[in-house]
Structure 1
Amino acid sequence: MSVTSPLVSVIVPVYNAERYLRACLDSILNQSYQHLEILLIDDGSTDDSSDICDQYATDDRRITVVHQPNGGIAAAQNTGLDTAHGDYIAFCDNDDIMHHANIEILLQAIGATGADMSKGRWRQIGVSSLAQTAVQAAGEPGHPRLTVIDTPLYSYQRVFCKSLRMLGGAKAEANYFNESNWCRLYKRELWDDLRFTTGHYAQDIRMAGPLYSRMKRVVDVDQVLYFWLQEPDSVTHSKRDSVFWHDNVAAAAENFSFTLERGIIPYRNYFGLTASVRDEKRGVKAAQRRGKLHEEDLSRCMSDSATMTELIRKLSIIDRCSCALLAQIRRVENLIYDKKIHRMK
């Protein structure tokens, strides 16, 4: 690794993002830290995204474009990891915007603390605020506060309710993790022999346990460095069928077991597991009322419910009560969150 100017690989999975891709790529090209390898993984786009990627690559030698048949975001991320040469790895979604000092600040935070990963804060934005966001992303970042977390996997599982983070103050907020890979900077070796599971919606949930368990130290940067575009019709907010719910159940169950085996109570995965099973049951009942229930959906739902019950029984009574309480708080928060997202324009 170059001590003075390490190479940072920025991986951007691209799929049918022609409306927002230019703004995303401009935010990466305009980073204050310029020693970048920008990997655009075109995952079988059917709009003009492929051409946009090639145009940008012609204009900037730091960009490498890989065109591949559509395999989903996990396959695109894996291709990026396989292609990357950087000392550090960053991800960016193809419709989001990075603050112009994102990489510089996250890299400095790792250098100052010796952390395995640095993470910044993000802000949710609507399509109508893209122009305003571009101005904010070009602004000066100030002098962010750094907080070191020595228990990444525990913090990921324990600190996830927004209301409790607000009550807990700056320290609690700094300990908040989610499954997203953007607005982070990783030491490259964290990804050695570690790749996303393809063919699933919840590939990021499956990755969280194995990835965070590899980290001894994470540094939080108290600064908005990433702007997350919210679209109500995206897969995250609109995909609701039995296969989607089952995949979320399976991912939560996998991470639940992984975490519990390491002596950590899987508070977050308890919520994800129970919420997904609940949604799956509601979907089955709705299909039954319409006379459109498929036997395989019913069988899958029953199996998922049994898996949930078996895993929860592995917890002590006290831990079950704690998990259930946090899950109830999170469910209320999600009702508010979903309304907020669908109001974003």
Structure 2
Amino acid sequence: MGNDVTIAIPLYKAKKYIKECLNSALVQSYPYIDFLVIDDAGDDGSVDFVVQMQAGHPRGKDIRLIRHTQNVGIGKTRNHLIAEAKTKYLFFLDADDIIAENAIQILHDAAEKYQTDLVYGSHEQIDMTKVGHHVIPFLYEQLFLKYDDYPIYVYRKYEGIQATIWNALINLEWFRSTGLRFLPINYWEDFALTMDLATYASRVVLLSDVTYYYYRHSGSLSIAKDSNRYSKENIQKTIGAIEWVKGNSDRIKQKSYFPGRMVKVLMTDFYIVCNVLKNKDRIQPAFSKRELRDVMKSPLTFKETISLKSRRFENLFLYMLGVLPSSISIWIITILGKHRRLI
């Protein structure tokens, strides 16, 4: 039997973490794996360890290393990984995370049993920015084997499913058939893709087994800040990813889950605005109230909003936050944010 799973690792300046990450991939109990690493022109020596493992590890012959001559960003690097993978299944592993020793075996067994588009394992978040390295489990367990069942689940509430691409065993032929690719950005590129990916999936399994360990580091892109300042530019890039999702919804407007998708997207905007308000003294240059109000703009018209067949009130309220005078809109968001302990 040839290898039928690719563990795809985008690598950029992860010298502190890549050894443990790659080791967790190489010790997998499942034997039929390609290990594909694309180095996005990092200059910190991260790639040297990959070269060492190619030469010295018993599974080194299955490590394929590709090096970019110039940095292109995480979105384009993920797309390159998709293009280079040659197996039935694809699994993304970020270079500063690790996976359980039996992760691929567990996911692969479920994928073959149910002939899935996607299989997600459960995961643990280890917050390295907190004293004591606080661990938060994210546990799932459910089968979705009928068309539209999975997106209905995803959009039923804000926390429907993680908005990240890692820890999913993806049927590569199915994924390529969707035509979806990552946006060429460095922040929330996976949010934009996974929000749409759910609308194409008809056979999805969520497993209770913890297969992935996600580490939050102070310098990671997901946090996108240093110890003193948030970058307005990076926040704007995150907002841009959400705007792309807003503008990419016409195809599913008639679906029963569409109103829930709009709530989820606009609530993501709400949380971002609350985060900006909470950290306004750390953001340079500052956001104006008008800029923050405009983040909340719905892609729907007033007529389309009141015509929704479900979740009409939630969508109408969120719509109003995007059209009210900016001072009133931000006042309302501030009150709600404080009530939810977001500000």
Does TM-score exceed 0.5, indicating one fold?
yes
SS at 2:185's partner residue?
coil
Amino acid at match of 1:158: R
Residues in 1 aligned to 2:212 and 2:238: alpha-carbon distance in whole angstroms: 25
Higher relative contact order by CA 8 Å / sep ≥ 6: 1 or 2?
1
Q: How far off is 1:92 after superposition?
A: 0.2
SS at 1:50's partner residue?
helix
Q: How far off is 1:236 after superposition?
A: 1.6
Q: How far off is 1:8 after superposition?
A: 0.5
Amino acid at match of 1:114: Q
Give the one of 202, 207, 213 matched to 2:188: 202
Residues in 1 aligned to 2:277 and 2:187: alpha-carbon distance in whole angstroms: 19
Residue in 2 aligned with 1:61? 61
Native 8 Å contact 1:97 1:228 kept in 2? yes
Question: CA 1:20/1:293 → structure 2, altered by over 3 Å: closer, same or farther?
Answer: closer
Residues in 2 aligned to 1:333 and 1:41: alpha-carbon distance in whole angstroms: 40
Give the one of 259, 262, 266 matched to 1:270: 266
Residue in 2 aligned with 1:79? 80
SS at 2:246's partner residue?
helix
Question: CA 1:88/1:293 → structure 2, altered by over 3 Å: closer, same or farther?
Answer: closer
- Is 1:255 matched up with 2:253? no
Q: TM-score, normalised by structure 2?
A: 0.75
Which shows bigger deviation, 99-108 or 301-310? 301-310
Amino acid at match of 2:299: L
Question: CA 1:189/1:305 → structure 2, altered by over 3 Å: closer, same or farther?
Answer: farther
Residues in 2 aligned to 1:331 and 1:117: alpha-carbon distance in whole angstroms: 37
Quick check: which one's helix share is greater? 1
Residue in 1 aligned with 2:330? none
- Is 1:229 matched up with 2:208? no
Q: How far off is 1:246 after superposition?
A: 2.2
Give the one of 151, 154, 159 matched to 2:152: 154
Residues in 2 aligned to 1:28 and 1:331: alpha-carbon distance in whole angstroms: 43
Listed one character per residue, the Cα deviations across residues 80-104 of structure 1 (whole Å, up to 9, x for unaligned) are 1111101100000101111111111
Amino acid at match of 1:237: I
Amino acid at match of 1:30: V
Residues in 2 aligned to 1:330 and 1:111: alpha-carbon distance in whole angstroms: 47
Within-5 A mapping of 1:121-270: 121-126=122-127, 147-149=142-144, 150=146, 151-161=149-159, 176-192=160-176, 193-239=179-225, 240-259=230-249, 261-263=253-255, 264-265=258-259, 266=261, 267-270=263-266
SS at 1:258's partner residue?
coil
- Is 1:16 matched up with 2:6? no
Residue in 2 aligned with 1:339? none
Native 8 Å contact 2:6 2:89 kept in 1? yes
Q: How far off is 1:79 after superposition?
A: 1.3
Question: CA 1:226/1:329 → structure 2, altered by over 3 Å: closer, same or farther?
Answer: farther
Question: CA 1:208/1:250 → structure 2, altered by over 3 Å: closer, same or farther?
Answer: same
SS at 2:311's partner residue?
helix
Residues in 1 aligned to 2:313 and 2:20: alpha-carbon distance in whole angstroms: 46
Contiguous gaps of at least 5 residues in structure 1: 133-143, 162-175, 336-345
Amino acid at match of 2:293: S
Native 8 Å contact 1:124 1:230 kept in 2? yes
Residue in 2 aligned with 1:137? none
Q: TM-score, normalised by structure 1?
A: 0.74
Contiguous gaps of at least 5 residues in structure 2: 134-138, 319-332
SS at 1:120's partner residue?
strand
Native 8 Å contact 2:3 2:34 kept in 1? no
Residues in 2 aligned to 1:322 and 1:90: alpha-carbon distance in whole angstroms: 36
Question: CA 1:145/1:199 → structure 2, altered by over 3 Å: closer, same or farther?
Answer: closer
SS at 1:213's partner residue?
coil
Native 8 Å contact 1:109 1:146 kept in 2? no
Residue in 1 aligned with 2:89? 88
Question: CA 1:49/1:6 → structure 2, altered by over 3 Å: closer, same or farther?
Answer: closer
Residues in 2 aligned to 1:71 and 1:262: alpha-carbon distance in whole angstroms: 37
- Is 1:319 matched up with 2:311? yes
Within-5 A mapping of 1:277-316: 277-280=273-276, 286=281, 293=285, 302=290, 305-306=293-294, 308-311=296-299, 313=302, 314-316=304-306
Native 8 Å contact 1:246 1:280 kept in 2? no
SS at 1:61's partner residue?
helix
SS at 2:121's partner residue?
strand
Amino acid at match of 1:309: K
Q: What percentage of aligned pairs have identical amino acids?
A: 21
Residues in 2 aligned to 1:330 and 1:26: alpha-carbon distance in whole angstroms: 43
Residue in 2 aligned with 1:43? 40
